[in-house]
Amino acid sequence: MSIKGLFPIDKWDFESESILADLPETEIAQLMRRKTENDYKKGAVIFREGSYPSGIYYLVSGRAKKYKVDLDGGEQIIYVANTGELLGYHSILSGENYVDSAAVLEDSVIAFIPKDDFLESLEHSVTLSRRLLKTLSHEFSVLANSLTMYARRPVRERLALQLIVVREKYKSHGNADAAVEINMSRDDLASLVGTARENVVRMLSEFKEEGILETKGRKIIVRDVKRLIEVANYK
């Protein structure tokens, strides 16, 4: 089921896949001329906070998480990236080391694009530079919404909202009516929501009792997305 008209997903999704969408073939060829593709097993780290950025990463297939690690070694997931999205370009643009880490949530294929090729393409492509600026501005709005959510919303509403957002990440674009299976560990979901794993497990059980979702192992299937939107209480 589509949530178009029911929930403003654009306020919570970076949508960086739009950066390269329908770029002229010559510009894509220039950007990708020295790319290398690698297979990443679930849980593999793409880059770590504090390391030097030698290029950007294009998610050919699969999903990844961007996260910060606190002093106690705990993770706070900032964002879940989907197939077609770019990772690591913020640090290239700022000229700084990575300010966060990234790892794959499932077996994925990722293309590495050298820093020089990315910057050269950015310099010569008006379309690419404009899209990147638009995306960066949009991401600032998304992060501002997230900060407000963490500061003011109870955990139940935060979990509902994140399930809505993550559900969109796991949707099959080929069949909009197919049931969406969210294949994410409870630890990652808790990190995304900003709460303890025990709270997520308890609230998922509550949602099951209310007929909002069902679970199959670690998979979560949202059965009543309208009810989930009501619980999220987004206004």
Domains present along the chain, CATH in parentheses = 9-148 (2.60.120.10), 154-232 (1.10.10.10)
- In whole angstroms, what is the distance from residue 193 CA to residue 80 CA? 12
* Residue 187 token pair: 């630890």
CB 80 within 8 A of CB 64: yes
Cα of first residue to Cα of last residue in the chain, in angstroms, is 21
Does 174 score more than 60 pLDDT? no
Bridge-based pairing of strands 75-81 and 213-216 is unpaired
Which 3 state secondary structure label does DSSP give 64? strand
Backbone angles phi and psi of 111, in degrees to 5: -95, 135
Query: Higher pLDDT residue, 199 or 8?
Result: 199
- In whole angstroms, what is the distance from residue 192 CA to residue 173 CA? 24
Does 235 score more than 70 pLDDT? no
Does 100 score more than 90 pLDDT? yes
Does 71 score more than 90 pLDDT? no
Mean pLDDT of 142-158: 82
What percent of the chain lies above the pLDDT cut of 70?
A: 94
User: What's the predicted TM-score (pTM) here?
Assistant: 0.86
Buried b (16+ CB within 10 A) or exposed e, 94-131: eeeebebbbbbbeebebbbbbbebbeebbeebeebeeb
Q: CB under 8 Å to 62, separation ≥6 — which residues?
A: 40, 83, 104, 105, 106, 107, 108, 109, 110
Bridge-based pairing of strands 108-114 and 36-40 is antiparallel
pLDDT digits (tens, 9 = 90+) for 115-144: 999 999 999 999 999 999 988 888 888 888
